[in-house]
A = this chain, B = another copy of it.
């Protein structure tokens, strides 16, 4: 089979971006065999041209001007791994509206602007994929969209924030206080100096807004997610639960209640025998209950450079093997003939 070249624009060259570049390089031949395209990075948007990177990149690939990517008709696919919200939304929106497929790892973007971005993608018949935005190594987005496509999902429960799960695991297994467990998480780099987004449940709420929207097939705004963090969980709460054979976990939950979708994030007491009760440390897991399939759970690491990069490259392959990309190629081909 003759191989064509596909050109990709990369927005951001931080941890995940560097992981993506590494993967595309080391797996170039393997990926080409799988999708029939040689994947080339055309341009990389960065803030600082001179910063030391986790990967060696030719200087000529770097640009500080996003127009070098948006206005380049050769760039058919944009990978967004720079983070941010409103500015990033404008860039992603313009990419989609100009007929470029987009892959993003940005949960804030998808949680806040997912509906708008999906509409833009649909209007141009291009793909918008974001497996890496929720629970890094767990292919939950693909599974909900594809494997449950013929089913009706009733409930999704997830441990989708590794930092809080680490803290609660330490408090449960080692009788640590909340403060000590948080300090250990910070020392290990699992929690930020300002841990608010994690411990307040906000990060989990963003992911649950995305999972609820996909699984219930109805846009769930972030503002509708009821939110309670783990700051109020004490050693006593945990000991009391343990005595009853229960484990406290920060659980994101999305349920159908009649026509409404209820989404919440809060500390919950689960029986020891619940599949989510055994998910410890930085691991994530998502438990799904659907009419036909019954109960299922996916479990894996929530974050990390290579898991996230791998999810991004998985999405890239999905674009290249998908119907929308093929249709676009065809239209372009016919255009050239005319």
Contacts and interface: CB of A to CB of B under 8 A. Distances in A.
A293 B310 contact: yes
Contacts of A138: 296
Interface stretch (A144-152, A190-198, A237-245, A247-255): A144-152
A148 B326 CA distance: 22
B146 A296 contact: no
Number of copies: 2
Contacts of A296: 137-139, 298-301
A167 B224 CA distance: 45
A139 B146 contact: yes
Main secondary structure of the interface of A (DSSP, over half): helix
A160 to B, nearest CB: 14
21 contacts: A23-B150, A23-B292, A34-B149, A137-B293, A138-B296, A139-B147, A142-B142, A142-B146, A143-B143, A146-B318, A150-B310, A150-B314, A150-B316, A292-B306, A293-B307, A293-B310, A293-B311, A294-B304, A295-B301, A297-B298, A322-B322
A294 B299 contact: no
Contact of A142 (B147, B150, B278, B309): B147
A60 B138 CA distance: 46
Contact of A147 (B294, B309, B311): B311
Given A314-B147, A322-B323, A297 B299 contact: yes
A150 B306 CA distance: 11
Contacts of A80: none
A300 B295 contact: yes
Contacts of A151: 310, 314
Given A147-B139, A297-B298, A292 B317 contact: no
Nearest to A305: B292
A123 interface: no
Contacts of A278: 275, 278
A149 B317 contact: yes
Given A275-B278, A300-B297, A323-B326, A314 B23 contact: no
